[in-house]
Amino acid sequence: MTTLLVTLDLTPERSEDVLVRLRGEAAPWLRRLPGFATSRWLLTGAHDRCYVVVEVEDGYADDASRALHDAMAPGAHDTARSWWCERIEDVVDLGLAARPPVTP
């Protein structure tokens, strides 16, 4: 598995509306990424940042990362929007916690 970490900055006052859109639009789109295996969405207590941990099957990391970059334009801060992508990183899972098996 390859793990990608996506950091989204949110406008806290509009975070509830943004989360509705992320659930309804971004999450289903993410599940269609090449080699998608699983994702986990994490929200900070201040509702100003969302972290998305995406796991894709080995061999699909480049395609999935390219699709994410094309769709989310990391670093393009548009203050008119209520969320934007801060960065997308290819990270390594250190394997310090047990992970449940991924079933298709």
Q: What is the CATH number of the domain that holds 73?
A: 3.30.70.100
pTM value? 0.80
By residue range, what is the domain housing residue 87?
2-93
The pLDDT score that the predictor gives to residue 37 is 93
Residue 66: what residue type? R
Q: Within a domain: residue 98?
A: no
At CB < 8 A and 24+ separation, what contacts does 66-73 make?
67/33, 67/34, 68/4, 68/6, 68/33, 71/29, 72/6
Residue 20 lies inside a defined structural domain of this protein: yes
Q: Is residue 100 part of a domain?
A: no
R_g over Cα of the chain = 14
In a structure prediction context, what are the per-residue pLDDT tens digits for the chain, which is 104 residues long?
889 999 988 888 888 888 888 888 888 888 998 899 999 999 999 988 999 999 999 888 888 888 888 877 766 666 666 777 788 888 887 878 776 776 66
Residue 70 inside a domain? The answer is yes
Q: How many domains does the chain have?
A: 1
CA distance 56 to 42: 18
Any domain includes 99:
no
Whether 48 is in a domain gets the answer yes
Residue 103 lies in a domain: no
